[in-house]
Amino acid sequence: MDALAGERLISDAGGAVSTRTDFDEFVAARSSRLLRTAYLLTRDHALAEDLLQTALTKAWFSWSRIEGDPEPYVRKVLVNTFASWWRRKWNSEHAYAEPPEVARSGEHDESDQRQDLWTAMGRLPRRQRAVIVLRFVEDLSEAETARLLGISPGTVKSQTSRALAHLRVDPALATETTEEPS
């Protein structure tokens, strides 16, 4: 493989030839979608970019072995890389004081609600967050999510149920309802 030549020719068992151009086209077409998934997993733009770059690098080295649509493979590499990062770095997190709440006007309520949702999502355990992101944001089926995470469909269902139960009672998502006695 000549890295400086810009083209990488690979012949698979069927005689088809894959080039670096195929990989470049895949990255151009799918990177924004994969970056969204990476961001939803990490909740940090810089980490999401690093995660996607690492996943794409790993995919590049396996590109000749990927059959069919490469997106599920790259998405699995992305999720697995994320899991290995948090297993290694979990005790390197630093706690910071939350900024004081500021009185807000009604004009930014929708973005405030989205922020509240992602704040609540950040409090979920990582596996539950991954299941919610894959099931409801990426719109994958239970079977696809199970295959991607390497768990059983029953685990996907139970993790989804637990995550939704946590989100229902999360203080960031609690709505203030005051009922007046009749």
Give the pLDDT score at 116. 76
pLDDT digit string (tens) for 70-92? 999 999 999 989 888 766 554 44
- What are the angstrom distances between the C-alpha of 152 and each of 126, 135, 145? 17, 14, 9
Q: How many domains does the chain have?
A: 2
In a domain, residue 73? The reply is yes
What CATH number did the domain enclosing 38 receive? 1.10.1740
Instruction: Find the domain containing 144 and state its range.
Output: 119-175
> Which of 38, 71, 89 corresponds to the end of one domain?
89
In a domain, residue 180? The reply is no
pLDDT digit string (tens) for 13-38? 443 335 677 899 999 999 999 999 99
Give the pLDDT score at 89. 52
What CATH number did the domain enclosing 145 receive? 1.10.10.10
Residues 79 and 123 in one domain: no
In a domain, residue 143? The reply is yes
How large is the average pLDDT for residues 168-181? Answer: 67
In a domain, residue 21? The reply is yes
Q: For the purposes of burial, counting CB atoms within 10 Å of the CB of 152, is it exposed (0-12), middle (13-18) or buried (19 or more)?
A: exposed
